[in-house]
């Protein structure tokens, strides 16, 4: 080792404090280089989303050494982002959590535990009454049954055996090394669309397959491989766990919003977190790694890159990443989603005995939820433009999107839905430090030929982020788990 | 306009000269920012591959204004790269050109014209005698027939109708706006593997489909969509034009190597070309665009980004690129290839009446060519580890690759092939400024949802590069054509 952990810890505190004061530095500006602080720590973490913050928190808790977290944005939380509006909060990013196991699969227990640690409470997602279905221009209401809250009809009958098959195949494939599964090459050689066409008999069934890809992965079935879909299901336990509200991943929400968790973790980390400091370069030399960002040049024993693989393409690695890891970053794009909220004086659909949950074959928004805060007002509906709808609407004027979204809601909940007092939207494709949501998605061939490069560290560079998780991948749960795994990995090397 | 072209021209010359002298600046180093030259020009070009150099040359030829070309590497030529070895040259990058039209489709006439302009000559690829086939462990020799130089047998019989079908579908789809083709969604919803399985009856036929994807696009059939394959065929005219030697894209080679063309174009551009200067950021402001690179900050009226779309992910755009263009950069990965040469005292296979061309079902190298210089010595065989073979072998010790490649050649040409006096290899995945070759490949869904963002400029930022071409896409021809198109586009805006 080139330097002792003790000495580094002391320097960090100095470096961290100074960096915190250098508020005048403009990130990425040519002149910024002159003002960058030099910091020495044991561990440099790239990204203050849940993965990076969890990594840092666990390292600090175990007394593993000094840590700095470099964040490109002016905020922490990554793909979770909570805004204050109308006397309450609005989660414009990831929001749901599953706190208890169910017949559909495990809870998201590490995220639940982290929230508990920092004192963020959860409450059950509102789900009383009937769901709304909308198919072939006809609105129906139906009580959510044991069969995954899909509207009864030929589509559901068509798709039910497909769901059973997917769960069975996912169990075979697993989430740890899907590339080694017996049928991996066959599954990764086809799109989810190809599989869906071969395993549904009706147009309604095919549309539900499409809706599944959109709602769960923010893309079209053609954009992803069957093997990747099976991995994703395996990482959740079952497909039903992914899409169920009361017994699945949409079971609960965070009081005060999901970003609270990251904010509180960051607060405890204090000056170890440096905002507005995108990382441009990571240099590995004998005995250390240097992480160069807009506001700080951090020299560390180990580095953890806790951002989506697609985003690592914008970091220059010296020496360059090994070929396969470098090519993975080109092959694991982010999904396409615009999250939308309509705000009302009160949740009027509840008066009609409706859950707020919809399943529709007509866009631009198809699946929606009641997102009213626990006190019962204002009323809020949340939905998503996903995949092709997001791509189609992203460049339109906001007024056009608002109108199209409220028209959709009016189809599901009646004309009152047009009287929104506010419309709140977040286009995650426009965020330069996310470039899409919810998660990195894999087209055919990627899991098979590149999947094995997802997690192994490269010298002193380790990988975290929900895309590297084997349980709860794509969710806050996966981010937290990946951070805990990365922290353990790094500790073994310090 | 904020500044006149005249004034800019004068400043450029000063700026260019000064930049040329700033040889001490180390690209990408934190300290480099202080030494960066400020340059004002009419047009800033990013990338001194054939696309960027052609853009600059055409602009200068038309007297369109002042130009600077910023290149990340310490050399020009991009994916063409010629080394001097054994008293001759070795093209370790792109090398072939089609100088004359044939029954299979058009010539690569713009590349041919550019080479002629700068005085680089061509000569026909050696192709006298019999080809070698190797299937099911059996070596055969056969005279190349009118049917695409594939070995006779059940595989060829199986695949012949598939080739006819592909050519027909490609003609329907075209290369200009494949996303608008009547069957675009169907074609882009499936992998080329899925289509191949449905359109071949034998394992031999399926293997030839695989060989086609590997040889032409350096990937597996599962990595690409049918729609992308059809686009690529359409951009060449026919599939036969892509893979034929005497009547297709492998018809001729450049005397002295293909990089000669770029070198000579660059020499004529003089100090306008700045090497070792990777671009990190492009800022568009009212009236101008600023391109920030390691050695120069260039303020221009228009910018042309002449690098592969996948590589644009490493440039920070301010304002950020529109969502779809930004997401395209995540969805258009580079192929996987290691180009290999074996050098012999003389081309001994010619004594046996062999062309040097092989088609094999056994790796790691399957298709090879005689790459001897026109004077007839030393003898050279050239081949490629492509797709999965490249991914598999990339991290192996060089001696293991050499042995495996020479073993392949020995299967095709006899034990003499093991007595190579040299083995020369180039792993394009390891090149940080290419990150793969031959070309960006599109998985399913990308052409359909993102194809229309390939060429349109965004404010003052224009796009060139062979991936943006509609004729000869993926080849030097496409690069030159894209540069000529970009130059015309920019001129209309100056």
Tokens 């090149």 appear where?
Answer: B431
pLDDT at B14 over 50: no
- pLDDT of A145: 79
Q: Distance, in angstroms, between B300 CA and closest chain A CA?
A: 17
C-beta of residue A194 within 8 angstroms of C-beta of residue B443: no
* Residues A31, A35, A38, A43, CA torsion sign: negative
Do residue A292 and residue B30 have CB atoms under 8 angstroms apart? yes
- Residue B261 half-sphere exposure, CB side, CA atoms within 13 Å? 35
pLDDT digits (tens, 9 = 90+) for A33-82: 457 999 999 999 999 999 999 999 999 999 999 999 999 999 999 999 99
- pLDDT of A3: 39
Mean pLDDT of all residues in B118-147: 94
Would you say how long chain A is, in residues? 494
Q: How far apart are CA A43 and CA A490, in angstroms?
A: 8
By DSSP bridging, strand B337-344 and strand B379-386 are antiparallel
pLDDT at B486 over 80: yes
Confidence at A16, pLDDT banded by 50, 70, 90: very low
pLDDT digits (tens, 9 = 90+) for A338-384: 999 999 999 999 999 999 999 999 999 999 999 999 999 999 999 99
Q: How far apart are CA A391 and CA B450, in angstroms?
A: 9
pLDDT at B5 over 50: no
Nearest to A30 among B194, B297, B436 (CB): B297
| B428: nearest CA partner in chain A | A323
B491 shares contact with chain A (CB less than 8 Å):
no
pLDDT at B445 over 70: yes
pLDDT at A266 over 80: yes
Q: Select the more confidently predicted residue: A298 or A5.
A: A298
Tokens 């086939």 appear where?
Answer: B133
Q: How far apart are CA B261 and CA A313, in angstroms?
A: 30
A76 shares contact with chain B (CB less than 8 Å):
no
A330 shares contact with chain B (CB less than 8 Å):
yes
Q: Helices in B67-108 by DSSP H: which ranges? A: none
Do residue B330 and residue A435 have CB atoms under 8 angstroms apart? yes
- Per-residue b or e along B377-414, where b marks 16 or more CB atoms closer than 10 Å to that residue's CB: ebbbbbbbbbbbbbbbbbeeeeeebbebbbebbebbbe
Q: How far apart are CA B460 and CA B301, in angstroms?
A: 7
A430 shares contact with chain B (CB less than 8 Å):
yes
A386 shares contact with chain B (CB less than 8 Å):
no
pLDDT at A326 over 80: yes
- pLDDT of B148: 61
List of residues 6+ apart from A159 with CB closer than 8 A: A150, A200, A205, A208, A209
Q: What are phi and psi of B380, to 5 degrees?
A: -135, 135
Question: Which residues in chain B are classed under CATH 3.90.660.10?
Answer: 82-127+250-257+335-430
Return the SS3 of A80.
Answer: coil
Mean pLDDT of all residues in B51-63: 98
CATH number of B82-127+250-257+335-430: 3.90.660.10
pLDDT at B10 over 50: no
Q: How many CB atoms lie within 10 A of CB B456?
A: 11
Q: Classify A148-243 by CATH class.
A: mainly alpha
pLDDT digits (tens, 9 = 90+) for B277-322: 999 999 999 999 999 999 999 999 999 999 999 999 999 999 999 9
Average pLDDT score over chain B: 93
Mean pLDDT of all residues in B137-144: 95
- pLDDT of A476: 98
Torsion of CA B90, B96, B99, B103, to 10 degrees: 150
Confidence at B149, pLDDT banded by 50, 70, 90: confident
Measuring CA to CA, how many Å separate A162 from each of A158, A170, A188, A199, A207? 8, 12, 18, 6, 13
- pLDDT of A147: 59
Mean pLDDT of all residues in B197-208: 97
By DSSP bridging, strand B37-46 and strand B82-85 are unpaired
Mean pLDDT of all residues in B225-243: 97
Mean pLDDT of all residues in A290-306: 97
Mean pLDDT of all residues in A384-409: 98
Q: Distance, in angstroms, between B35 CA and closest chain A CA?
A: 10
- Which chain A residues touch B196 with a CB distance below 8 Å? none
Average pLDDT score over chain A: 93
Q: How far apart are CA B384 and CA B427, in angstroms?
A: 10
From the list A306, A274, A258, the residue with the least C-alpha distance to A80 is: A258
CB-count exposure of residue A255 (10 Å: 0-12, 13-18, 19+): middle
Which range, of A147-156, A206-215, B327-336, averages the lowest pLDDT? A147-156
From the list A33, A35, A41, A13, the residue with the least C-alpha distance to A23 is: A35
Q: Distance, in angstroms, between B336 CA and closest chain A CA?
A: 8
Q: How far apart are CA B428 and CA B92, in angstroms?
A: 9
Q: Distance, in angstroms, between A192 CA and closest chain B CA?
A: 9
Q: How far apart are CA A156 and CA A220, in angstroms?
A: 19
Question: Which residues in chain A are classed under CATH 3.50.50.60?
Answer: 5-78+259-321+458-491
Return the SS3 of A21.
Answer: helix
Superfamily, domain A5-78+259-321+458-491:
FAD/NAD(P)-binding domain (3.50.50.60)
pLDDT at B32 over 70: no
Return the SS3 of B376.
Answer: coil
pLDDT digits (tens, 9 = 90+) for B166-184: 999 999 999 999 999 999 9
Measuring CA to CA, how many Å separate A187 from each of A225, A228, A242, A445, B227? 7, 8, 20, 9, 20
- pLDDT of B145: 79
Report the largest interatomic distance among the alpha carbons of chain B, rounded to a whole angstrom.
70
- pLDDT of B20: 34
By DSSP bridging, strand A122-124 and strand A252-254 are antiparallel
Confidence at B35, pLDDT banded by 50, 70, 90: confident
Return the SS3 of B26.
Answer: coil
Q: Distance, in angstroms, between A21 CA and closest chain B CA?
A: 20
Q: What are phi and psi of A374, to 5 degrees?
A: -60, -30
- Which chain A residues touch B194 with a CB distance below 8 Å? 189-191, 194
Which range, of A60-74, B140-154, B389-403, averages the lowest pLDDT? B140-154
Q: Give the ipTM of the model, two decimals please.
A: 0.92
- Which chain A residues touch B445 with a CB distance below 8 Å? 191, 219-220, 222-223, 443
Is B152-243 a CATH 1.10.405.10 domain?
Answer: yes
């Amino acid at each position: 080792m080139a330097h002792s952990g003790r000495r580094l810890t002391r320097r960090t505190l100095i470096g961290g404090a100074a960096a915190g004061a250098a508020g005048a530095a403009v990130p990425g500006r040519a002149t910024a280089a002159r003002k960058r602080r030099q910091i020495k720590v044991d561990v440099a973490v790239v990204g203050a989303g849940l993965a990076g913050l969890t990594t840092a928190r666990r390292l600090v808790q175990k007394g593993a050494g000094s840590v700095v977290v470099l964040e490109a944005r002016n905020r922490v939380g990554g793909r979770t982002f909570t805004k204050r509006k109308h006397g309450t909060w609005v989660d414009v990013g990831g929001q749901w959590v599953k706190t208890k196991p169910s017949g559909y699969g495990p809870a998201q227990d590490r995220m639940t535990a982290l929230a508990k640690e920092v004192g963020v409470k959860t409450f059950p997602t509102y789900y009383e009454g009937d769901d709304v279905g909308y198919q072939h221009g006809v609105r129906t209401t139906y009580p959510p049954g044991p069969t995954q809250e899909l509207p009864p009809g030929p589509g559901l009958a068509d798709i039910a055996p497909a769901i059973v098959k997917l769960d069975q195949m996912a169990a075979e494939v697993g989430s740890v090394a899907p590339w080694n599964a017996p049928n991996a090459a066959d599954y990764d050689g086809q799109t989810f669309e190809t599989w869906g066409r071969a395993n549904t008999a009706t147009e309604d069934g095919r549309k539900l397959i499409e809706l599944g890809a959109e709602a769960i992965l923010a893309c079209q079935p053609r954009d992803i491989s069957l093997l990747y879909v099976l991995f994703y299901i395996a990482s959740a336990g079952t497909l039903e766990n992914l899409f169920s509200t009361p017994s699945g991943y949409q079971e609960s929400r965070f009081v005060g919003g999901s970003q609270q968790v990251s904010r509180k973790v960051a607060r405890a980390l204090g000056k170890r977190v440096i905002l507005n400091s995108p990382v441009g370069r990571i240099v590995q030399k004998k005995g250390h790694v240097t992480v160069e960002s807009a506001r700080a040049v951090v020299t560390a024993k180990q580095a953890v890159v806790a951002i989506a693989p697609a985003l690592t393409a914008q970091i220059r690695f010296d020496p360059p990443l090994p070929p396969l890891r470098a090519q993975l970053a080109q092959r694991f794009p982010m999904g396409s989603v615009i999250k939308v909220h309509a705000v009302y004086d009160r949740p009027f659909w509840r008066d009609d005995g409706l859950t707020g949950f919809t399943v529709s074959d007509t866009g631009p928004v198809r699946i929606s939820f009641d997102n009213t805060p626990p006190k019962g007002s204002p009323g809020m509906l949340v939905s998503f433009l996903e995949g092709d709808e997001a791509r189609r609407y992203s460049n339109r004027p906001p007024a056009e999107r608002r109108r199209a979204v409220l028209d959709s809601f009016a189809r599901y909940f009646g004309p009152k839905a047009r009287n929104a007092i506010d419309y709140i939207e977040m286009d995650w494709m426009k965020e330069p430090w996310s470039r899409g949501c919810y998660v990195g998605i894999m087209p055919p061939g990627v899991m098979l030929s590149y999947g094995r490069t997802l997690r192994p560290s490269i010298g002193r560079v380790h990988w975290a982020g929900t895309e590297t998780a084997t349980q709860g991948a794509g969710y806050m749960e996966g981010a937290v788990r990946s951070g805990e795994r990365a922290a353990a990995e790094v500790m073994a090397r310090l």
